[in-house]
Amino acid sequence: MIKFYYNTAPNPMKVALFLEESGLPYEAIPVDSRKGEQFAPAFTALNPNNKVPVIVDGDSVVFDSNAILIYLGEKTGQFMPTDRAQMLSWMMFIASGIGPYSGQAVHFRTFAPEPKEYAVNRYMFEAKRHWGIIEAHLAKHSHMVGDSYSIVDMALWGWARLVPFVLGDDAIWTTYPSIKRLLDEVNARPAAVRAMAIKDRHAFKAEFDAEAKAHMFRHTVQPA
Ligand SMILES: N[C@@H](CCC(=O)N[C@@H](CS)C(=O)NCC(=O)O)C(=O)O
């Protein structure tokens, strides 16, 4: 059975969605980042980057969410677009652009100390630029690659759910109606409902207190 190391953040949720869609048997193992469990030696042995998600499938260990989606898609033959070139292109765009810029936009807007205008402006600009590219693409295409639901839509879904939070704008869907269309389509799938319910399986630390910040923002306690 696949072991799925997770928390309820955007990158693990993409993998939860695939696991629920595919019907693969899996065991969900919580890694509570706010308690520093990502730095336990046994977890570092699986992912030297100390982040979730990770899967262990027999002798195979896979970390990084989009790598996991490609691995599981290839393993099962499910939800794989026929256009491999476009699949790889958009999977890397989401992994290297959407995720990091969205994450850093939230970080600098919400947590960075003043003065932060330059950093907030840069990351908000880049986050919006990346989401704008997705919106323009989905305005012309029903799905991210090809004309049916695939691992690329799952990769996008992990972050798309949080766009209003990421950009600090509850009215943002009027700017990104095509992303919202695809998000609503995926959210309505029974597997997505089950994936979103994964948060109820384990009790994660709720407080974002000094201990949580020390684990998740290590540069604040251990400068470069
Ligand atoms: N590139 C990685 C990023 C993984 C990542 O940033 N995971 C976050 C949750 S979404 C995490 O583990 N954060 C805990 C920490 O940074 O200590 C992926 O796509 O899986």
How do residues 14-28 score in pLDDT, each as one tens digit? Answer: 999 999 999 999 999
Indicate the burial class of 112 (C-beta count within 10 angstroms; 0-12, 13-18, 19 or more).
middle
What percentage of the chain carries pLDDT values higher than 90?
Answer: 98
Architecture of domain 84-188: Up-down Bundle (1.20)
Pocket (CB within 6 angstroms of ligand 1): 9-11, 33, 38, 51-53, 64-66, 95, 99, 216
What's 172's DSSP letter?
G
- Report the residue among 29, 51, 166 best suited for mutation to probe ligand 1: largest number of ligand atoms under 8 A from its CB: 51
Q: Provide the residue ranges of all domains of the chain, joining segments of one domain with +.
A: 2-78+194-220, 84-188
pLDDT, one tens digit per residue, over 103-141 is: 999 999 999 999 999 999 999 999 999 999 999 999 999
- pLDDT confidence of 84, banded at 50, 70, 90? very high
The full length of the chain comes to 224
Average model confidence (pLDDT) across the chain: 97
Distance of CA 53 from the midpoint of ligand 1 (Å): 7
Class of the domain covering 2-78+194-220: alpha beta
Whether 48 has a pLDDT exceeding 90, the answer reads: yes
- pLDDT confidence of 222, banded at 50, 70, 90? confident
Q: By the 8 A CB rule, do 138 and 98 touch?
A: no
- Could you check whether 2-78+194-220 and 84-188 share the same CATH topology? no
Concatenating the DSSP letter of every residue in 54-102 gives: EEEETTEEEESHHHHHHHHHHHH--S--S-HHHHHHHHHHIIIIIHHHH
Question: What is the C-alpha to C-alpha distance for residues 127 and 116, in angstroms, rounded to an integer?
Answer: 16
**pTM (two decimals):** 0.97
Structure tokens at 100: 């990091």
